[in-house]
Structure 1
Amino acid sequence: MSAQNDTPATMRWMIYGANGYTGELIAREAARRELAPVLAGRNRESVEALARELGLEARAFGLEDASALAGQIQGHSLVLNCAGPFSATAAPMIEACLRAGAHYLDITGEIAVFELAQSLNGRAQQAGVVLCPGVGFDVIPTDCVAAALKAALPDATHLALGFDSRSGFSPGTAKTSVEGLAQGGKVRRDGRIIGVPLAYKVRRIDFGDGEKEAMTIPWGDVSTAYHTTGIPNIEVFIPGSPGMIANAKRANHIRPLLGISWVQKLIKARIARTVKGPSEEKRAQMPTFVWGEAVNARGESRTARIRTANGYSLTITGSLAVVEYLMKHQPAGGAYTPARLVGADLVTNLPESGPLQIV
């Protein structure tokens, strides 16, 4: 069934990776809102246990067989993929969604996934399928800031974005970060994504909670902000202590080791055993400060700031806001960023978000 033919009342949708840290949080909130997702994942026992508790349907399947996977998706209007690392799960799930006529959303921050989605824009248009990765904290707030800055300074040539968040990692985010260390830094120069060292650039930034030393990171906006704004030069920053920045610079010397398969497996296995993700109490105590700066060729600049909920809390409400948007609207098929799909005001409409201020 094509996603374009469904109405909100009949829309059948799926959360894949519902048994993971973030997937479960989203599933619980979706159940509370009576959105009735089908819960799915590899681990039958944990998926079915969660589904029984929430009174929802469960499915258990892996992503290895493309034809079988498309069959599992068939009849669903939308899939929200919460199973990271998305370097392993996004490509097969996007392919299955294109074959099955289901919209694809995920909560990645991985540049390669965003670029993959954009490369499939033509197929998505033909299929009438929306491909919109990054509908969580990665990258809703920064994408909306980018869109707002483009509107405020239409001839901007350089864009810097960043956020100050101290929420800790979930297992999936930690595993993705390990992969990112091995790949090094990324920025966009003259419209192209290029590799740079980790902590390639360091500068002092007031994200909204006082000025701090900050370093560049290979965040998803290096891809998405370009597709949202067309600004050809993009960097993304996070604050870091002197020790953290020094460690990032030192990691450049051991990056070849971090890329070895067995080293990755060893580190990820340890993460699976030891990283649990922040508690609800901890999330509630830790808001996030998001910042952006646009500059044009004449040196004119605009600066944007917004305070939002904790990153994981925003991922819950942000992803479901996009799900509910697609339940109520029928956008043309294609590859989107969150701000292009829903609008630059998406972040300000989420719980605990303050106003987006531009000076």
Structure 2
Amino acid sequence: MPKIVLLGATGYTGRLTAEVLTARGAAPVLAGRNGPALEKMAADLGGARTAVADVTDPASVRALLDRGDVLVTTVGPFLRHGRPALAAAIAAGAHYIDSTGEGPFIRTVFEHDDQARAAGAGLLTAFGFDYVPGNLAAGLALREAPTAARVDVGYFIESPGTSGGTRASMAGMLFESGFALRSGQVVAERTGAHLRSFDVGGKRLTGTSIPGSEHFALTRSYPNLREVDVFLGLPPLAAQGLRFGSRLTSVVARVPVLKRGFNDALARAVKGSTGGPGAEARGRTRTWVVAEARDDAGKSLTSVTLAGGDPYDFTAAIMAWAAETALGGGLLDSGALGPVDAFGLDALHTAALDAGWTRHPAAPTS
């Protein structure tokens, strides 16, 4: 009988996801490398199956899966640890969902589109706060402005907390290339190459350009799109700092021995499994995503603003929903999928509303 397998269950995001799945009545198999920790967690959740698997032993990950299963993986940084789970899902003909926010790994998943289609598997990458809300907001904007040729998406967080895994992922991307959608094609572009401001609840907030899943995913449902940019909200000085810092790291990245040395040093210095913000801290966090659709001339056609709570809570909730829906045959296609073409705009919107997101009126920006 098909099942949900949660790999990385004892990690910070993994535990939150396991709690949501259990609360929804699902019975995930809790998988990870620490058997005693898995057994304790299973007991804490009222009983669950467990399985020991380690991404450094790809065969152990492959052994978790059968055709029709759903693999949810939170094992990051994904650039270092993500490929074995991806390969195992495709080989098994299982559906795959991950929590990455790492642009280069998102590209890797979409590069496996043909293999996944041949296997009958659906691949859903970056299926959390990074980058489901932006895909949803853009889809709602494009429903209102179907002739739009450009979409800009901005992510903004107030009172954020970060987990060890998030910090490790951010460190791992310092020397990696960014990308953007230009003339209908995803092309390399330095992270932080562009700054722009958005109207968020009557305030003008600054964002700096980053790679996201929107660049790959949106054109599948909206083939008229020619340009997509995704921005991360930062204070103006921090945004400028990222912009200029990315110029320096892009120089280092061109020298393989330097890039490897810096990445190894960062991997030693920034550990992933160090927990994250507690429930009280997460309760103080607020998030907004803005999507603006423009025409060929750059004229704003419509703007959609969505507001939510903590990114980690949303990631756990939306991955749990996606896993249950996929297990029940609710995927609309196979291959590497964006959130909209995986489930449809209306179903995705309903799931986001159930996870605490709301739509707010927003004035078009210039």
TM-score, shorter chain, exceeding 0.5: yes
Question: C-alpha distance in 2, partners of 1:125/1:176?
Answer: 28
> Which residue of 182, 191, 196 maps to 2:175?
182
Inter-partner Cα distance in structure 2 for 1:144 and 1:308: 13
Q: Counterpart of 1:271 in structure 2: which amino acid? A: V
Equivalent-residue separation in structure 1 for 2:52 and 2:326 (angstroms): 25
Structure 1 residues 66 and 239, CA gap change in structure 2 (3 angstroms): closer
Q: 1:244 pairs with 235, 238, 245, which one?
A: 238
Of 209, 221, 227 in structure 2, the residue corresponding to residue 233 of structure 1 is 227
Moved more, 39-48 or 13-22: 39-48
Unaligned runs of 5+ in 1: 1-9
CA shift digits 1:73-125 (9 cap, x unpaired): 23671100111112233332122112212111111223333333333333322
* Separation in structure 1 between the aligned mates of residue 344 and residue 274 of structure 2, nearest angstrom: 34
Letter in 1 for 2:244: R
Say whether the 8 Å CA contact 1:130–1:335 is kept in structure 2.
Answer: yes
Tell me, yes or no, if structure 1 residue 224 matches structure 2 residue 225: no
Task: Tell me the amino acid that sits aligned with residue 18 of structure 1.
Answer: A
Instruction: State the alpha-carbon separation in 2 of the partners of residues 265 and 45 from structure 1.
Output: 29
1:301 aligned residue: 301
Give the equivalent residue in structure 1 for 2:113: 121
Alignment gaps of 5+ in structure 2:
none
* Matches for 1:152-301 after TM superposition, within 5 Å: 152-166=144-158, 167-208=160-201, 210-230=203-223, 231-255=225-249, 256-257=251-252, 260-272=259-271, 276-298=275-297, 299-301=299-301
Q: Equivalent residue of 1:105, what SS?
A: strand
The question of 1:31 aligning with 2:35 is answered no
Shift of 1:144: 0.7
What does the per-residue CA deviation read over 1:207-250, in whole Å, with 9 as the maximum and x for residues that have no partner? 33621222212233233333343312111112222331232133
Query: Structure 1 residues 208, 217: CA separation in 2 closer, same or farther (over 3 Å shift)?
Result: farther
Amino acid in structure 2 at the alignment position of 1:335: A
Cα distance 1:297–1:139, how it changes in 2: closer, same or farther (>3 A)?
A: same
- 1:352 is matched with 356
CA contact (8 A) 1:144 1:343 kept: no
After the TM superposition, which of the residue ranges 34-43 and 73-82 deviates more from structure 2? 73-82
Which residue is equivalent to 1:17?
A: 8
Mapping of residues 68-147 of structure 1, within 5 Å: 68-74=60-66, 77-147=69-139
Separation of aligned partners in 2, 1:50 and 1:308:
28
Report if the CA contact (8 A) 1:169-1:275 is conserved.
no
Q: SS at the partner of 1:165?
A: strand
| Distance apart, 1:184 and its partner CA | 4.5
Provide the alpha-carbon RMSD of the alignment. Answer: 2.4
The Cα offsets for residues 163-216 of structure 1, whole Å up to 9 and x where unpaired, read as: 111322212221221122212543221123333344211222123362122221
Q: Distance in 1 between matches of 2:173 and 2:142?
A: 28
Does the aligned pair in 1 maintain the 2:17–2:320 contact within 8 Å?
yes
> What residue identity is the alignment partner of 2:76?
G
Alpha-carbon contact 1:202-1:214 (below 8 Å) kept: yes
Contact map agreement 1:132 1:335 (CA 8 A) in 2: yes
In the superposition, relative to structure 1, how do residues 65 and 57 fare at CA in structure 2: closer, same or farther (>3 Å)?
same
Q: 1:225 to 1:181 in 2, by over 3 A?
A: farther
Q: Which amino acid aligns with 1:305?
A: T
- More displaced 10-residue stretch of structure 1: 312-321 or 256-265: 256-265
In structure 2, what residue type is equivalent to 1:117? Answer: V
TM-score, with structure 1 as normaliser: 0.88
The verdict on how the C-alpha distance between 1:107 and 1:273 changes in structure 2, with shifts beyond 3 A counting, is: closer
Q: Secondary structure at the match of 1:206?
A: strand
In the superposition, relative to structure 1, how do residues 294 and 19 fare at CA in structure 2: closer, same or farther (>3 Å)?
Answer: same
Runs of 4+ in structure 1 off by over 6 angstroms are none
- Residue 288 of structure 2 aligns to a residue in which SS? strand
Whether the 8 Å contact between 2:330 and 2:343 is mirrored in structure 1 is no
Q: Report how many aligned residue pairs link the two structures.
A: 350
Distance 1:275 1:90 in 2: 19
CA distance in structure 2 between the partners assigned to 1:312 and 1:155 by the alignment: 34
| Pairwise CA distance, 1:52 | 3.0
Residues 123 and 244 (structure 1), Cα distance of their counterparts in 2 relative to 1, 3 Å cut: same
Q: Distance in 2 between matches of 1:213 and 1:192?
A: 26
Q: Distance in 2 between matches of 1:300 and 1:273?
A: 41
1:254 aligns to what SS in structure 2? Answer: helix
CA drift at 1:328: 2.8
Q: Which residue of 2 aligns with 1:44?
A: 35
Distance 1:65 1:273 in 2: 19
C-alpha contact (below 8 Å) 2:53/2:60 kept by paired residues: no
Question: 1:320-358: CA deviations, max 9, x gaps?
Answer: 111121233354432211121122242443332113657
